[in-house]
């Protein structure tokens, strides 16, 4: 007799399973490496293809084919869109892939993947550092033909560096990007003193730092870093330009904040056509490459430029709110995290990754030491061993002779696998130097993982190195409420 299943229960169960899969496999990044699954698969595919930061660029179509063929059973269009975002420096604060060709602008989409070329950027390459050294777990891919990493080793807190956005079923995430120096300073502070509160961490992290620059109001920063939720007001950066022998004044927008330039220009055209700000004479987009320059020419009769600018800002919408909802995956389930929780989890996971890395290095080095010790044992009685090998008619005779000389089974195997020419050239002095170097290195590795504190010291040194290597200036300026709402325009005098 067949059992009766409620339609409602079946729908609820199926929808719950579906929503969890969307959360885990599509929309929400992981709290440790800061990546969504498709991003992680793209980076690993490039690594697997040898497209490292110091290699040549190769066709993006090759990377997309590798990704969807081996790691992601989804369409090439969505995979390429994700790759494009990893390359664009106006979309991603610290691009994880380096591209050649037309990767698009604020106004135009990227060329098709058959026309562009790509490889890992230096930061992207860093995230995969030691991925094959047992630092992270691997799982079989969707068809069981190969394996892929569950997470990347990620020696940087990437989620805060590049932020994330994604809409799942029943929840969404929206995390702003930050300056690398600020994030590493905050992480180091928490490494040194895990008891620091969010309030005590705030002096280390100025605030978000968006790829397009701009001005940020600090009024809600305490809330978003304390609760992982809130919003941040962001304004374009502009200045007033006075040109030699020109009676007109020009307002020049140089940094867009979180605005889309195309939509902003469309709004300006509407404002100009409808004469919503009558003091505007014309608008020109003089942007070149990565340098934004939108020029607003004011009529000669304009007197109070700051009142006009305030009206432009409000009419065109040059102040936008960035909604913050710091949701990320921990143990495959979404969590809203404040600043301390996110960095604490990253530190705890990084400690485990570093411990696994050095245990792998120690095991590998111990095998090398064993090999060197065996060669030293051979050198100590080299003439007798060489004579034994030359005089023996069969391999069994060699084995028997070596066992009489008190060689262990693994040492016997090493002798058998080493060409006699190499055995004859073994140098005791060189081998002893190698042995001493290996022993010194082994001791240093063992010291790193002797305690959690020593591992944290190693991570601290790593982060200091990365700050020197990848640190850059902030693109966004943080302002208090009074300054942000003033609508001041710095004056710049030019000859043209």
118-145: per-residue pLDDT in tens?
999 999 999 999 999 999 999 999 889 9
DSSP β-bridge partners for residue 398: none
Phi and psi of 154, rounded to 5°? 40, 80
246-292: per-residue pLDDT in tens?
888 899 999 999 999 999 999 999 999 999 999 999 999 999 888 89
pLDDT score for 27: 75
Torsion, Cα 365 367 369 373, to 10 degrees, reads: 180
What's the rounded Cα separation, in Å, for the pair 480 and 488?
13
Alpha-carbon distances of 481 from 44, 216, 229, 233, 309, rounded to whole Å:
43, 9, 19, 10, 18
Q: What angle do CA 269, 272, 275 make, to 5 degrees?
A: 145
pLDDT score for 73: 76
Q: Half-sphere exposure (CA, 13 Å, Cβ side) for 106? A: 23
Phi and psi of 255, rounded to 5°? -140, 130
Nearest to 427 by CA among 474, 483, 382: 382
What's the rounded Cα separation, in Å, for the pair 365 and 356?
14
What's the rounded Cα separation, in Å, for the pair 492 and 306?
14
Is beta strand 58-59 parallel, antiparallel or unpaired with respect to 117-120?
antiparallel
- Helix-helix angle 339-380:180-192, to 10 degrees: 80
Is beta strand 476-479 parallel, antiparallel or unpaired with respect to 280-285?
unpaired
**Catalytic site positions:** 115
What's the rounded Cα separation, in Å, for the pair 263 and 269?
10
Is residue 35 helix, strand or coil? coil
Is the distance from CB of 384 to CB of 405 less than 8 angstroms?
yes
Torsion, Cα 242 244 247 253, to 10 degrees, reads: -30
Is the distance from CB of 180 to CB of 159 less than 8 angstroms?
no
Stretches in the chain below the pLDDT threshold 50:
1, 15, 18
Structure tokens that stand for 191 in this block: 């490494």
219-242: per-residue pLDDT in tens?
999 999 999 999 999 999 999 988
What's the rounded Cα separation, in Å, for the pair 115 and 108?
15
Q: Map tokens 């913050």 to a residue.
A: 324
């Amino acid at each position: 007799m067949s059992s009766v299943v409620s339609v409602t229960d079946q729908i609820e169960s199926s929808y719950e399973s579906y929503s969890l899969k969307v959360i885990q496999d599509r929309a929400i990044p992981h709290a440790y490496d800061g990546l969504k699954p498709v991003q992680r698969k793209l980076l690993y595919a490039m690594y697997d293809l040898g497209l490292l930061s110091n290699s040549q660029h190769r066709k993006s179509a090759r990377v997309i084919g590798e990704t969807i063929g081996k790691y992601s059973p989804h369409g090439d269009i969505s995979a390429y869109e994700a790759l494009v975002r990893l390359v664009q420096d106006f979309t991603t604060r610290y691009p994880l892939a380096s591209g050649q060709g037309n990767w698009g602008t604020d106004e135009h989409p990227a060329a098709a993947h058959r026309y562009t070329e790509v490889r890992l950027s230096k930061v992207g390459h860093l995230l995969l550092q030691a991925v094959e050294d047992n630092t992270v777990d691997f799982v079989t891919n969707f068809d069981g033909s190969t394996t892929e990493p569950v997470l990347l080793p990620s020696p940087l807190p990437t989620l805060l560096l590049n932020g994330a956005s994604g809409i799942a079923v029943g929840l969404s995430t929206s995390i702003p990007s930050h300056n690398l120096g600020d994030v590493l300073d905050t992480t180091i502070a928490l490494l040194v003193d895990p008891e620091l509160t969010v309030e005590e961490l705030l002096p280390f992290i100025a605030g978000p730092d968006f790829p397009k620059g701009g001005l940020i109001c600090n009024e809600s920063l305490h809330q978003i870093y304390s609760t992982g939720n809130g919003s941040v007001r962001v304004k374009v950066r502009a200045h007033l330009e006075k040109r030699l022998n020109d009676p007109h004044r020009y307002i020049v927008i140089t940094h867009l904040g979180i605005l889309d330039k195309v939509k902003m220009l469309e709004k300006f055209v509407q404002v100009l056509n409808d004469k919503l700000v009558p003091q505007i004479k014309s608008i020109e987009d003089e942007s070149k490459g990565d340098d934004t320059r939108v020029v607003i020419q004011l009529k000669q009769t304009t007197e109070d430029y700051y009142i006009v600018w305030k009206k432009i800002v409000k009419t065109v919408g040059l102040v936008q709110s960035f909604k913050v909802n710091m949701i990320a995956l921990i143990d495959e389930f979404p969590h809203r995290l404040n600043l301390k929780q996110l960095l604490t989890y990253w530190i705890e996971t990084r400690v485990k990754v570093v411990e696994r890395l050095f245990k792998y290095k120690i095991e590998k080095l111990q095998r090398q030491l064993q090999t060197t010790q065996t060669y030293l044992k051979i050198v100590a009685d080299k003439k007798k061993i060489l004579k034994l090998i030359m005089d023996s008619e069969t391999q069994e005779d060699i084995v028997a002779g070596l066992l009489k000389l008190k060689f262990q089974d693994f040492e016997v195997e090493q002798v058998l696998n080493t060409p006699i020419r190499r055995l004859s050239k073994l140098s005791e002095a060189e081998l002893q130097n190698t042995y001493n170097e290996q022993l010194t290195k082994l001791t240093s590795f063992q010291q790193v993982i002797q305690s959690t504190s020593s591992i944290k010291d190693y991570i601290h040194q790593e982060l200091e190195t990365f700050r020197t290597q990848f640190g850059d200036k902030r693109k966004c300026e943080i302002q208090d409420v009074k300054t942000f709402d003033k609508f001041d325009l710095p004056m710049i005098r030019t000859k043209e």
